[in-house]
Amino acid sequence: MINVGVLGATGAVGQRFVQLLADHPFFELSVLTASGRSAGKSYKDAVNWRLDVPLPDSISEIVVSETNVKALKNVDLVFSALPADLASNIETECAKAGLGVCTNASAHRMDEEIPLVVPEINPDHLGLIDLQHDAGWDGFIVTNPNCSTIMLTMSLVPLRNFTFTDLKVATMQAISGAGFEGVAGMSIFDNVIPYIGGEEEKMEKETKKIMGSFDGNTIIKAPFSVSASCNRVPVIDGHTMSVWLDIKESVEKVTEAFRTWKPPIRDLPTLPESSLDLMSQQDRPQPRLDRNKGKGMTVSVGRIRPQIRYTAMGHNTIRGAAGASVLNAELIRDREYI
Contacting a copy of itself (CB under 8 A), which of 19, 143, 146, 311? Answer: 311
Contacting a copy of itself (CB under 8 A), which of 160, 253, 259, 288? Answer: 288
Task: Provide φ and ψ at 314, rounded to 5°.
Answer: -160, 170
Task: Provide φ and ψ at 317, rounded to 5°.
Answer: -95, -10
Q: Are 27 and 338 in contact (CB under 8 A)?
A: no
> According to the binding rule CB under 8 A, does residue 293 interact with a copy of itself?
yes
> According to the binding rule CB under 8 A, does residue 234 interact with a copy of itself?
yes
Q: Are 334 and 173 in contact (CB under 8 A)?
A: no
Tell me whether residue 3 or residue 274 sits nearer to a copy of itself (CB atom): 274
Q: Which residues, in sequence order, are CB contacts of 173 under 8 Å at separation 6+?
A: 147, 148, 196, 199, 230, 231, 232, 233, 235, 239, 240, 316
147 is catalytic: yes
Dihedral of CA 246/250/253/254: which sign? positive
Residue 234 Cβ vs a copy of itself, minimum distance, rounded to whole Å? 5
Q: Are 100 and 78 in contact (CB under 8 A)?
A: yes
Contacting a copy of itself (CB under 8 A), which of 235, 326, 327, 338? Answer: 235
Task: Please give the Cα distance from 34 to 40 (Å, whole number).
Answer: 10
Among 81-89, 103-111, 148-156, 229-237, the segment contacting a copy of itself (CB under 8 A)? 229-237
Tell me whether residue 5 or residue 302 sits nearer to a copy of itself (CB atom): 302
Residue 338 Cβ vs a copy of itself, minimum distance, rounded to whole Å? 33
Q: Which residues, in sequence order, are CB contacts of 70 under 8 Å at separation 6+?
A: none
* C-alpha dist (Å) from residue 138 to 26, 69, 70, 112, 188: 21, 14, 16, 18, 45
Tell me whether residue 102 or residue 271 sits nearer to a copy of itself (CB atom): 271
Among 38-46, 94-102, 185-193, 250-258, the segment contacting a copy of itself (CB under 8 A)? 185-193
Residue 111 Cβ vs a copy of itself, minimum distance, rounded to whole Å? 26
Separation of CA 61 from chain center? 27
Contacting a copy of itself (CB under 8 A), which of 37, 50, 160, 253? Answer: 50
Residue 157 Cβ vs a copy of itself, minimum distance, rounded to whole Å? 20
Contacting a copy of itself (CB under 8 A), which of 3, 88, 231, 255? Answer: 231
Count residues near a copy of itself (CB under 8 A): 57
> According to the binding rule CB under 8 A, does residue 304 interact with a copy of itself?
no
Q: Are 79 and 4 in contact (CB under 8 A)?
A: yes
Active site residues: 147, 239
* Residue numbers at the binding site for a copy of itself (CB under 8 A): 12, 50-54, 168, 170, 172, 175-176, 179-195, 227, 229, 231, 233-236, 238, 240, 242, 244, 282-293, 302-303, 307, 309, 311, 313
